[in-house]
Amino acid sequence: MIESKINELKNNISKNDNVKSNNKMSFIDYFQTRIDKYDKRKQRGTKKSYNSSFNQLKSLLKEKGKKDLYFDEIDYQFLEDFEDHLLSQELLLTTQNKYIKSQKSIYRRAVNRYLFTPKKDPYNIYKIPNGESVKEYLTLSHIQDLNFNCFERGSKNENTRIRFLVQIFAQGIRISDLMTIRYKNLHFDEKGDSIDIIQFKTKVPLRIHITKELLKYLFYFVDKKEFYRIYYDEKPIQTNFGTSMSISGVENLFYTMTTLESCNDEENLWIKKELSKSYKSIYKRQIEYFKKERKSNPNNFILDFLDNDLFENVVFNEKRNLSKKQRSRLQSKQVPYNKNLKELDDILKSNINITSHISRHSYAHNCLMNDMDYLVIQELLGHKNISTTQNYLRGIDKKFLHKKVKENIEKNKHRIRDHNPNY
């Protein structure tokens, strides 16, 4: 009686998974049914993750000249073959780990539902590769290079440069959130100027503090001609000392406070003060423009990624699901943007694989270099849990600590020598 009850339970579980219990059951077919279920449940993030693992698996089978894979063919050797396949593509350890765990989850699900009974579970002896991912980031010097060096005006690369700088100065905002900033997200009041959004990925509220640098690059999408006139075109200057000169853009002096060799100290001081006044005036005018647009066109996107009409009534928060067409449009804009970002290395010469997410790493890195507390960085990045921030900065943190230790040793060398003459 007990045995018949167990068999009944097995049959019920098998029906729920739409696959019969069979030692020659197709792992490929079962994997696909699980992905389809995630799609029906609108678990798009899970579906995307598992689908990537699934595609890697099919790629390995193609190399082996196979079209299918049965459960009983998954053994320790097969898992090692799959790991070698991932290694051959130079994927990060964290990515390999994710793909293998996805397959393990599918395999164990079938076993736990009595759809397949292995003689030995290969995952009991196989060790999934693990390791810390190396966080790539741009230094402050790299960001300054991007700040001062343009591509051809109106070109695809120049547009990409500006978008990426907006990402960095907007606290490393994700590309999905960058695309969806509307004028109504801007706030200018006594509490401070900010962009307030609900993050598309995590649904966590985020306040982005509007700095002069961020406002400057947002203004590019308002009036490109005026943007270059203000920040990059050469301007004649007549000082009150009778000196005439031409300087290239406000910011070359305002940001770097470069001393002009043709001027004496008094003239340089006068020029810097005048440029500072000029920049403050520009900043105020830009704020007034954005206030006006917020009032007249609140639902318009600021950046030029998306069509206002297609997303007219969309609220990017947890209460709203995008249509298939809208989601497809979002994804179709992200892929070429990431592809175009590779061209930025013509300026940077950094040998860094630049992606949109590098903006987050770079912002976090520069916060850390400024001795900013982890809790503050968590708030600025919009992480829900501090553990996410800690994991985010782990690779960077070691370099930072080594640097601080070295600086501390150099700083205290004389004290060490006092106590140890042989040092």
Regarding whether 164 and 81 lie in a shared domain, the answer is no
Looking at residue 418, its pLDDT comes to 47
Regarding whether 18 and 61 lie in a shared domain, the answer is yes
Range of the domain at 353: 143-238+287-407
Considering the domain boundaries, does residue 304 fall inside one? yes
- Please give the average per-residue pLDDT across 367-371, as a whole number: 84
Considering the domain boundaries, does residue 418 fall inside one? no
| Domain stop point among 124, 153, 173 | 124
Residue 345 has pLDDT above 60, yes or no: yes
Q: What is the pLDDT of residues 387-416, one digit of tens each?
A: 888 877 776 656 565 665 566 556 655 544
Regarding whether 89 and 164 lie in a shared domain, the answer is no
Regarding whether 310 and 165 lie in a shared domain, the answer is yes
Regarding whether 367 and 220 lie in a shared domain, the answer is yes
Considering the domain boundaries, does residue 416 fall inside one? no
Closest CA to 138 of 418, 345, 377, 413: 345
Regarding whether 117 and 71 lie in a shared domain, the answer is yes
Cα distances from 96 to residues 71, 135, 137, in angstroms, run 21, 16, 21
Looking at residue 243, its pLDDT comes to 54
Looking at residue 197, its pLDDT comes to 93
- Please give the average per-residue pLDDT across 232-250, as a whole number: 58
Separation CA 331–CA 289 (nearest Å): 31
Helix (H) / strand (E) element for 237: namely: strand 234-238
44: CATH: 1.10.150
Regarding whether 154 and 53 lie in a shared domain, the answer is no
- Please give the average per-residue pLDDT across 345-355, as a whole number: 81
For the chain, the domain total comes to 2
- Please give the average per-residue pLDDT across 87-109, as a whole number: 85
208: CATH: 1.10.443.10
Looking at residue 97, its pLDDT comes to 87
Considering the domain boundaries, does residue 88 fall inside one? yes
Q: What is the pLDDT of residues 61-72, one digit of tens each?
A: 998 899 999 999
Q: What is the pLDDT of residues 307-341, one digit of tens each?
A: 888 888 787 765 456 788 888 888 888 888 988 99
Residue 238 has pLDDT above 90, yes or no: no
Mean pLDDT of the chain: 80
Looking at residue 69, its pLDDT comes to 93
| Domain stop point among 124, 154, 178 | 124
Looking at residue 133, its pLDDT comes to 58
Regarding whether 55 and 190 lie in a shared domain, the answer is no
Residue 163 has pLDDT above 90, yes or no: yes
Is 102 in contact with 152 (CB distance < 8 Å)?
no
Looking at residue 160, its pLDDT comes to 94
Looking at residue 210, its pLDDT comes to 94
Regarding whether 204 and 340 lie in a shared domain, the answer is yes
> What φ, ψ does residue 226 adopt, rounded to 5°?
-70, -35
Q: What is the pLDDT of residues 17-56, one digit of tens each?
A: 444 445 578 999 999 999 999 888 888 778 888 999 999 9
Looking at residue 19, its pLDDT comes to 43
Name, in order, each residue with C-beta under 8 angstroms of 34's C-beta and a sequence gap of 6 or more.
50, 106, 109
| Domain stop point among 124, 158, 188 | 124
For tokens 């340089």, what's the residue?
A: 268
Separation CA 356–CA 237 (nearest Å): 39
Regarding whether 338 and 202 lie in a shared domain, the answer is yes
Looking at residue 412, its pLDDT comes to 56
Regarding whether 93 and 55 lie in a shared domain, the answer is yes
> Could you tell me which residue, 151 or 390, shows the higher pLDDT?
151
The model's pTM is 0.66
> Could you tell me which residue, 279 or 359, shows the higher pLDDT?
359
Report the DSSP beta bridge partners of residue 70. Answer: 26
Regarding whether 148 and 94 lie in a shared domain, the answer is no
Rg (CA), the chain: 28
